């Protein structure tokens, strides 16, 4: 039992964006979240990461209740995410973006780093090395000093993933990681997600529109429509579900 | 509904003013002085002056046996504050007259309010040109610089032969300093000095290095300073540190011991043109000197003496009003008394005060200007520790 | 006009600009992270100077209060303690004013007005305690250091060399800090607090640290200026205004920009006086503000991102 989403709801004024959604994501699973535009997928991600509080319901990770925690506390509990519209720190360099993610690993205090003690300097060097390892993993080695905003779109996505990985998460939430990628990049993405799951022992939760990617990558898929969970199961089963076909093809 | 209530309230508030107000006992004299803001440095000295004047008058029989009471309102450092203080004194405290405000700048803003309400005002330290011309209810006991600047300059030139080149520093955003600087420039011309440089400063400025570098490049032998006290003291300190060895003459702003802690040993040697000397011998000045020293362990500053004199002039004028009306002041119609008091203030003749014997005469289309006989030039002497010093009268 | 003369004016400008720089850094740190102008900076500046003064002379008061502390610290110790307490004052201001307002999602304008109110309160408290008169650090505060030193044809007041040195030191410390992960995290909070928070950064803790640093810098600047001239409750106000101009010149929230802006402002002021007044008395010093702020307007029109000119950050 890894991530338990228990009757989570969120309304904005009169609009129910997420309506009593419940499902459980197992350790090590790659779990897809699909549904038409406006189905509440990103809102669900925001609820899980603590960016907005739920109107009702509960979120547990490895038995610990996460509901009501601040985003930084949720991050320290082991959840990291990326955004559909990439949110890097555009004025920081590529490496600095990753270093910010490594912030949690620091041992020396901020005062020590202000005084540049030997311990702090050592810890800074090791942080730089870790950052470069992550950058090499996502294929951005050699661009460490460039401003993040100067990267092409696809590279920015990879940098955002590297930054999320820098926090050493147990659960990685990817919001439309393939958006804007060309077919060959999408192909590589699938392999890449499986590779990082293996290497970092991750549970992955991803929102994706690109059906072949979801089918080939995800162990299980949940389908949201108008904030409600309308289907849950293996990709092949869900694809045949009449409710899902109706949601995608019916009027909306 | 709401509007009606406001109208009613306004009417109620206006009622006491509309009713015939009479003078209460003790006789209230207003003092609108700067107790806060950076002008408080000067205002503090005046507050001491008006308080001492109250105890002097009351210990000498009051006004025909009735004690006076000085009511203080803080003007802060700006014009708005002065206007508010004036309005409180006139309409809430029902004073017979007002001593204040501290700065000429504030006088130009607030005095017209008193003129309109026909309340006599005596300026204790408003020395800019044109103060009595504000209106018929404005008088002052602070001599304008033009009355003594040329004499002071001549005295300095007689001590140091061969001075021809003079430079001037003045605070252009302070009405008094600006007017004083203008007076000094006329005096330079009169005594045949060559003005080689003028540098403008701002009130509250503390770094003068670039102005000093510019001025010293013109090799002045005498520098005249018209600024507020602390600013001028900082300027003197930096002038000396930058190697200026010539003479310095300070205007009214530097005429306070408050500059000692700022320029410390560098204050030594500055000449100050003075309208007051603590060593003047007469009964009232001795009383003031004794009582001031008992509390503050120092010589009386000029501003204290002038504010003291302001209250004294009111008390003296009130006695004359009472005498000529054969009636006690208390109980008189306030508005009528204020008019009579103003006339009496402006006919003050050879009245002995800490400033010496003074007269106040009415200027055409205006109020009362001061006629003062004694002026002084002091030189600052600092003791060896550089922490305290004194004004030594050289003329 | 000789080269020596121009060098002297340049030195005058740089030494004064160093104070502007260190003052503006305090403003810009808070602005970069909260988008709020913290007007208490000028008051913290004055409080810092009075703290050092009291710790050094063992004397509190002069206004409504006369107290003698049992101790007199040497200058460097009083300076350090004064600066640290000023930092804590900055933190107290965050907890008492800015945090409650943020919790209520108050308009940033309200925070600005609240900070002006608090600044007035602090300055008036100083006047109540110490009186309106000027206090001066003892002349021996700097030990046996001569009041001025001669560098070739240029005269520099020793205290101004110290100011320049301390400013550079503060900058170096900030630079080291900015290269550490904590510095990066601070920049991250400044650029996008929501995302920084998702990366496990406790945004509120970084805000507290920012206020501490900003108060610390304010206290340092106040003491340095106090040592250089004299202190009175209101002496932070002029710097408060110029500090605003400096951070606009340097680019709002831009940390190196605040330093460059401060130095540039100081030099512009000095050269305005030095060049114009040299030819026509009183023109440069009379229009000093008009010229400095005129240049500021031009910068705003043509380089709204400030002198160092990174592009305007768009916030998500």
DSSP state letter for C62: S
**Which member of A71, A85, A90 has the closest CB to residue C197?**
A71
Phi, psi of C117 (to 5 degrees): -60, -45
Q: Are B213 and C2 in contact (CB under 8 A)?
A: no
- For residue C186, give how far its alpha carbon lies from the nearest alpha carbon of chain A (Å): 9
The tokens for A41 are 């997928």
**3-class DSSP state for residue B27?**
strand
Task: Calculate the average pLDDT of chain C.
Answer: 85
* Partner residue facing A100 (CB), from C194, C196, C316: C196
Which of the pair, B324 or C71, is modelled with greater confidence? B324
Rounded mean pLDDT of A13-33?
92
CA C51, CA A247: separation in Å to the nearest integer? 69
C180 chain-A contacts, CB cut-off 8 A: 110, 113-114, 120, 124
**What residue ranges define each of the domains in chain B, with the CATH number in brackets?**
17-142+282-362 (3.40.50.2300), 146-274+376-393 (3.40.50.2300)
Task: Judge whether A144 is closer than 8 Å to chain C, CB to CB.
Answer: no
pLDDT tens per residue, range A56-83:
999 999 989 999 899 999 999 999 999 9
pLDDT at B356 over 80: yes
Alpha carbon of B43 to those of A110, A118, B40, B275: distances in Å?
49, 57, 4, 17
* pLDDT attached to residue C276: 85
Sorted by sequence, the CB contacts under 8 Å of residue C107 that are 6+ apart come out as none
> Each residue of B122-134: pLDDT tens digit?
999 888 888 999 9
- Taking contacts as CB-CB distances below 8 angstroms, the residues of chain A near C181 are 99-100, 102-103, 106, 113, 124, 127
Q: What CATH topology corresponds to C3-302?
A: ABC transporter involved in vitamin B12 uptake, BtuC (1.10.3470)
B98: pLDDT strictly greater than 80: yes
Residue B5: band (very low, low, confident or very high) from pLDDT cuts 50, 70, 90:
low
Cβ(A9)–Cβ(A54) below 8 Å: yes
Percent of chain A with pLDDT over 70: 92
> How far, in Å, CA of A10 to CA of A54, rounded?
5
Please return the burial class of B296, using the count of CB atoms within 10 Å of its CB with bins 0-12, 13-18 and 19+: middle
Backbone angles phi, psi at C135, to 5 degrees: -110, 150
Q: Is B166 helix (H, G, I), strand (E, B) or coil?
A: strand
- For A219-223, which contacts have Cβ atoms below 8 Å and span 24 or more sequence positions? A219/A29, A219/A30, A219/A31, A220/A29, A220/A31, A220/A32, A221/A31, A221/A32, A221/A33, A221/A34, A222/A23, A222/A31, A222/A32, A222/A33, A222/A34, A223/A34, A223/A35, A223/A247
CB B65 within 8 Å of CB B102 = no
**Looking up tokens 């290497």, which residue turns up?**
A199
Q: How confident is the model at residue A250 (pLDDT cuts 50, 70, 90)?
A: low
Neighbours of B115 (CB within 10 A): 18
Residue of B120, B111, B100 lying closest to B43 (CA atoms): B100
Q: What is the DSSP string of C157-191?
A: EHHHHHHHHHHHHHHHHHHHHHHSHHHHHHHHHHH
Interatomic CA distance for residues C284 and B328, integer angstroms: 60
One of 3.30.1330.10, 3.40.50.300, 3.40.50.20, 2.40.160.20 is the CATH number of A79-167, namely 3.40.50.300
- Please say whether the beta carbons of B64 and B104 come within 8 A: no
In this prediction, residue A211 has a pLDDT band, given cuts at 50, 70 and 90, of confident
Quote the ipTM score: 0.85
Question: 3-class secondary structure for B329-357?
Answer: CCCCEHHHHHHHHHHHHCCCCCEEECCEE
- The distance from CA B51 to its chain's CA centroid, rounded to whole angstroms, is 15
What is the rounded distance in angstroms from the CA atom of residue C181 to the CA atom of residue A122? 12
Q: What is residue A22's predicted lDDT score, i.e. its pLDDT?
A: 93
Q: Which two tokens stand for residue C51?
A: 């703290």
pLDDT for res B2 = 54
Instruction: Name chain A contacts of C216, Cβ cutoff 8 Å.
Output: none
H/E segment holding residue B99: strand B98-99
Residue A208 has a CB neighbour count (10 Å cut-off) of 23
Which H helix or E strand runs over B224? Answer: strand B222-226
Q: Which residues of C290-310 are buried (b: 16+ CB within 10 A; e: fewer)?
A: ebbeebbeebeeeeeebbbee
- C30 contacts C211 by C-beta, under 8 angstroms: yes
Q: Can you name the residues that pair with B272 across neighbouring β-strands? A: B250, B378
C307 vs B311: which has the higher pLDDT: B311
Residues B292, B304 contacting (CB under 8 angstroms): yes
Using CB atoms within 10 A of its CB, is residue A157 exposed (0-12), middle (13-18) or buried (19+)?
Answer: buried
pLDDT at B170: 95
DSSP for B111-151 reads HHHHHHHT--EEESS--STTSGGG-TTEEESS--GGGTHHH
Average pLDDT estimate for B276-294: 92
Q: Do C230 and B230 touch (CB under 8 A)?
A: yes
Residues of chain C neighbouring B172 (CB-CB closer than 8 A) = 286
From the CB coordinates, do chains B and A have 3 or more pairs under 8 Å? no
> Cβ contact (<8 Å) for C136 and B198?
no
Q: What is the pLDDT of residues B211-237, one digit of tens each?
A: 999 999 999 999 999 998 889 999 999
Cα Rg for chain C, rounded, in angstroms?
Answer: 20
Scanning A23-82 for CB atoms below 8 A from C yields 49, 51, 70-72, 74-76, 80-81
On chain A, the residues whose CB falls within 8 A of the CB of C201 are 72, 100, 103
Q: In chain C, what are the domain boundaries?
A: 3-302
Residue indicated by tokens 């990439």: A86
Residues of B near C (CB-CB distance < 8 A)?
36-38, 40-41, 43-44, 172, 195-202, 204-207, 209-211, 213-214, 217, 229-230, 233-234, 237-238, 241-243, 258, 261-262, 264-265, 386
């Amino acid at each position: 039992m890894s991530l338990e989403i228990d009757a989570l709801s969120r309304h904005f004024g009169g609009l129910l964006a997420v309506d009593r959604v419940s499902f459980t994501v197992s350790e090590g699973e790659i779990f897809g979240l699909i549904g038409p535009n406006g189905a509440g997928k990103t809102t669900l991600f925001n609820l899980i990461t603590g960016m907005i509080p739920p109107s009702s319901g509960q979120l547990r990770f490895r038995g610990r209740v996460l509901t009501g925690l601040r985003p930084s506390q949720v991050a320290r509990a082991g959840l990291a995410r990326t955004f559909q519209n990439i949110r890097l720190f555009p004025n920081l360099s590529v490496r600095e973006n990753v270093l910010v993610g490594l912030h949690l690993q620091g041992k020396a205090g901020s005062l020590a780093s202000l005084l540049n003690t030997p311990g702090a300097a050592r810890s800074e060097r090791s942080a730089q090395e870790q950052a470069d390892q992550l950058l090499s993993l996502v294929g951005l080695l050699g661009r460490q000093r460039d401003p993040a905003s100067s990267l092409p779109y696809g590279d920015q996505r990879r940098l955002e993933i590297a930054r999320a990985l820098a926090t050493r998460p147990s659960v990685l939430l990817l919001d439309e990681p393939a958006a804007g990628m060309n077919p060959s990049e999408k192909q590589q993405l699938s392999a890449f997600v499986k590779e990082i799951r293996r290497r970092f022992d991750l549970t992955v939760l991803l929102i994706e529109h690109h059906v072949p990617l979801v089918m080939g990558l995800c162990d299980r898929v949940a389908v949201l429509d108008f904030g409600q969970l309308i289907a849950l199961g293996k990709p092949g089963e869900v694809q045949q579900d009449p409710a899902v076909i109706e949601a995608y093809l019916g009027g909306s | 509904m709401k509007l009606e209530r406001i109208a009613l309230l306004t009417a109620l508030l206006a009622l006491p003013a509309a009713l015939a107000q009479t003078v209460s006992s003790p006789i209230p004299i207003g003092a609108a002085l700067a107790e806060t803001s950076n002008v408080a440095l000067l205002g503090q000295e005046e507050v001491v002056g008006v308080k001492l004047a109250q105890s002097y008058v009351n210990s000498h029989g009051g006004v025909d046996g009735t004690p006076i009471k000085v009511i203080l309102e803080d003007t802060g450092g700006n014009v708005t504050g002065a206007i508010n203080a004036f309005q409180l004194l006139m309409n809430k405290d029902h004073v017979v007259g007002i001593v204040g405000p501290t700065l000429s700048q504030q006088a130009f803003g607030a005095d017209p309010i008193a003129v309109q309400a026909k309340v006599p005002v005596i300026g204790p330290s408003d020395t800019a040109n044109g103060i009595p011309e504000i209106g018929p209810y404005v008088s002052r006991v602070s001599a304008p610089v033009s009355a003594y600047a040329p004499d002071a300059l001549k005295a300095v030139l007689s001590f140091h032969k061969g001075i021809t080149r003079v430079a001037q520093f003045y605070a252009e955003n302070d009405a008094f300093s600006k007017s004083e600087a203008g007076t000094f420039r006329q005096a330079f011309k009169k005594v045949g000095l060559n003005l080689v440089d003028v540098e403008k400063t701002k009130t509250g400025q503390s770094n003068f290095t670039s102005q000093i570098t510019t001025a010293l490049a013109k090799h002045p032998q005498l520098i005249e300073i018209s600024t507020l006290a602390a600013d001028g003291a900082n300027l003197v300190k930096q002038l000396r540190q930058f190697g200026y060895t010539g003479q310095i003459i300070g205007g009214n702003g530097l005429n306070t011991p408050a500059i000692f802690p700022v320029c410390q040993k560098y204050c030594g040697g500055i000449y100050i043109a003075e309208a007051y000397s603590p060593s003047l011998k007469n009964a009232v000045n001795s009383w003031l000197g004794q009582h001031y020293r008992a509390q503050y362990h120092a010589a009386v500053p000029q501003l204290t003496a002038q504010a003291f004199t302001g209250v004294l002039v009111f008390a003296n004028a009130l006695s004359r009003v009472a005498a000529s009306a054969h009636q006690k002041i208390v109980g008189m119609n306030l508005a009528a008394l204020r008019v009579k008091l103003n006339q009496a203030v402006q006919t003050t003749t050879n009245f002995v005060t800490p400033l010496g014997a003074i007269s106040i005469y009415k200027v055409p289309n205006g109020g009362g200007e001061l006629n003062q006989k004694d002026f002084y030039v002091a030189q600052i002497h600092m003791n060896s520790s550089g922490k305290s010093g004194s004004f030594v009268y050289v003329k | 006009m000789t080269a020596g003369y121009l060098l002297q004016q340049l030195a005058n400008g740089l030494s004064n600009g160093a104070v502007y720089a260190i003052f503006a850094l305090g403003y810009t740190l808070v602005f970069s992270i909260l988008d709020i102008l913290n007007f208490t900076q000028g008051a913290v500046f004055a409080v810092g100077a009075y703290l050092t003064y009291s710790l050094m002379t063992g004397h509190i008061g002069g206004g409504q209060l006369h107290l003698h502390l049992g101790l007199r610290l040497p200058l460097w110790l009083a300076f350090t303690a004064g600066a640290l307490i000023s930092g804590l004052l900055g933190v107290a201001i965050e907890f008492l004013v800015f945090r409650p307002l943020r919790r209520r999602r108050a308009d940033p304008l309200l925070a600005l007005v609240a900070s002006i109110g608090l600044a007035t309160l602090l300055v008036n408290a100083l006047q109540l305690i110490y009186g309106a008169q000027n206090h001066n650090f003892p002349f021996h505060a700097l030990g046996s250091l001569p009041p001025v030193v001669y560098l070739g044809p240029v005269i520099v007041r020793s205290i101004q060399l110290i100011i320049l040195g301390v400013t550079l030191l503060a900058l170096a410390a900030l630079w080291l800090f900015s290269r550490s992960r904590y510095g990066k995290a601070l920049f991250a909070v400044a650029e996008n607090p929501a995302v920084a928070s998702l990366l496990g950064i406790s945004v509120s803790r970084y805000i507290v640290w920012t206020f501490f640093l900003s108060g610390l810098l304010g206290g340092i600047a106040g003491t340095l200026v106090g040592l250089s001239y004299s202190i009175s409750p209101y002496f932070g106000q002029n710097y408060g205004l110029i500090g605003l101009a400096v951070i606009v010149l340097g680019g709002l929230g831009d940390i190196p920009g605040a330093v460059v802006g401060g130095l540039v402002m100081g030099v512009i002021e000095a050269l305005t006086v030095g060049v114009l007044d040299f030819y026509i008395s009183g023109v440069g010093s009379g229009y000093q503000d008009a010229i400095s702020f005129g240049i500021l307007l031009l910068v705003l029109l043509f380089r709204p991102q400030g002198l160092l000119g990174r592009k305007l950050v768009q916030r998500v």
